[in-house]
Amino acid sequence: MPVAQYLIFSQPGKLQDGREVAVKRLYEHNYKRVTQFMNEIEILTRLRHHNLVTLYGCTSRLSRELLLVYEYIPNGTVADHIHGDRAKDRPLVWSIRMSIAIETACALTYLHASDIIHRDVKTNNILLDNNFCVKVADFGLSRLFPNDVTHVSTAPQGTPGYVDPEYHQCYQLTDKSDVYSFGVVLIELISSMKAVDISRHRHEINLANLAINRIQRRAFNELIDTSLGFESDSSIERMTTMVAEVAFRCLQLEKEMRPTMEEVLRALKEIQDSKDENTVYVIENAEVLKSTRPPPSPEGDNIVLLKNGKELPSPDAVTDRWVSSSSTSISSG
C-alpha cells in the first residue's frame, strides 16, 4: 500500500472572506514528494470544473512548510459512504450513486479533454459536498499528456485494486488507465464492496476479478447490493445491471477494448434517462447505441452467439475495438 504523503487537517479553516478551506500539509520532505506537490499545483491551476476540487492557494516551494489550501468539502468521500464509517448511518440510495457515477465520469472526461490523466481514480479520492455532489481530488500523481502521443512510458503508480493491469505490466500510461480505474469505482457503487478485500477468496481479493466473473456468468444477484432495491424495484435492477455492463467494458484487460471516458459518460447518462424496460444501452464502435434486448432463449440467458459464431466475453457485450490512430509514444520517469 502507498505510504501516506500528506497530513490533511480534519477541521476546516476559514479565510478572511468567510470561505471554509481544507489545508493539506506535506510532512515528508524528499524530492519525490516535493515533485508531486508541485505537480498538483501545476495541474489544478490549469483546471476549472464544478466536479473538481478547487485549489485556493499554496506556499512557495522554498517555504519551510509546503501547504495546499483547498475548498473544504464537508461530506467525506464516496468510500466513506459505501463501505466506510458513514455507510451504517445513512447508506447512499441508488439515485445518488448513479449521480455520483455520472458526475465523476464528467470530471474525468473534462480531464482527458484537457490532456490530463488522473492516475489515481478511486472512491477515496471522490469527495462529496452536503448535496452529494462530486468533487474529484488528489492530483499528486496526475500527468499532463501530450496530444500527439498514444501513451507515456512511466513506472506504474496508483492504488492496488485500481491500477490498470496493462499499465502495470507494460509501463504504458494512457487515458484508458483512468477508464479501468473508473470501472472499479462503478463496481463499488453497485456492489458496496471494497476494491481490495483480503477476506474474500484469493482469486477475488481484487474486486475487478470478482465482478468480471459474476458478470460473465450473469450472476448479478451475487454482485449488486440488494439493499439498493435490486430485487424489489425492476427499474433499479435494470439500471444497476446496465451499469455493471459498462463497468465490464471499462475493465477489459486490453486497453483498445475499453471505451473512452466520453463514451462511458454518454452511456451512463443514457442509462439514467432510460424508461423503457426492454431497452439496453451498449457501447459500439465509439457510439452509444440503443438496442432492444431479445427475449430469453430456451437455453436461458447464459448463451449468446455472435454473428461469426464466437461467444461474447459478457452477455450483452458487442464486438468492438477502439484503436488509436497513432502509435507515437513518449518515455519519462
Which pLDDT does position 153 carry in this prediction? 66
pLDDT of 158 reads 87
Q: How many CB atoms lie within 10 A of CB 54?
A: 16
Q: Do domains 6-71 and 78-277+323-331 have the same CATH topology?
A: no
pLDDT digits (tens, 9 = 90+) for 15-44: 888 889 998 887 666 667 778 888 888 898
| Of 120, 164, 175, 225, catalytic | 120
Predicted TM-score (pTM) of the model is 0.80
CA 223 to chain CA centroid, nearest Å: 18
Residue 274 is predicted with a pLDDT of 84
Calculate what percentage of the chain has a pLDDT beyond 70: 74
Q: How confident is the model at residue 178 (pLDDT cuts 50, 70, 90)?
A: very high
Indicate the pLDDT class of residue 186, thresholds 50, 70 and 90.
Answer: very high
Mean pLDDT of all residues in 259-285: 79
Domain 6-71 has CATH 3.30.200.20: yes
Q: How many CB atoms lie within 10 A of CB 13?
A: 12
193-217 residue pLDDT tens: 999 999 999 999 999 999 999 999 9
- The superfamily (CATH) of domain 78-277+323-331 is Transferase(Phosphotransferase) domain 1 (1.10.510.10)
Task: Of 42-51, 127-136, 270-279, give the lowest mean pLDDT range.
Answer: 270-279
Question: For 48-86, how does the pLDDT look when each residue is reduced to its tens digit (9 = 90+)?
Answer: 999 999 999 988 767 777 888 999 999 999 999 999 989
Integer Rg of the chain from CA = 20
233: annotated active-site residue: no
pLDDT band at 267 (very low <50, low <70, confident <90, very high): very high
Q: Where are the domains of the chain?
A: 6-71, 78-277+323-331
In whole angstroms, what is the distance from residue 242 CA to residue 258 CA? Answer: 16
Can you read off the three cell numbers belonging to residue 267?
Answer: 452511456
Residue 18 φ then ψ, to 5° = 95, -10
Q: Mean pLDDT across the stretch 263-274? A: 96
Q: Is 138 annotated as a binding residue?
A: yes
Dump strand ranges (E) for the chain. Answer: 6-8, 13-14, 20-26, 55-58, 66-71, 116-117, 126-128, 134-136, 143-144, 151-153, 172-173, 279-284, 287-292, 329-331
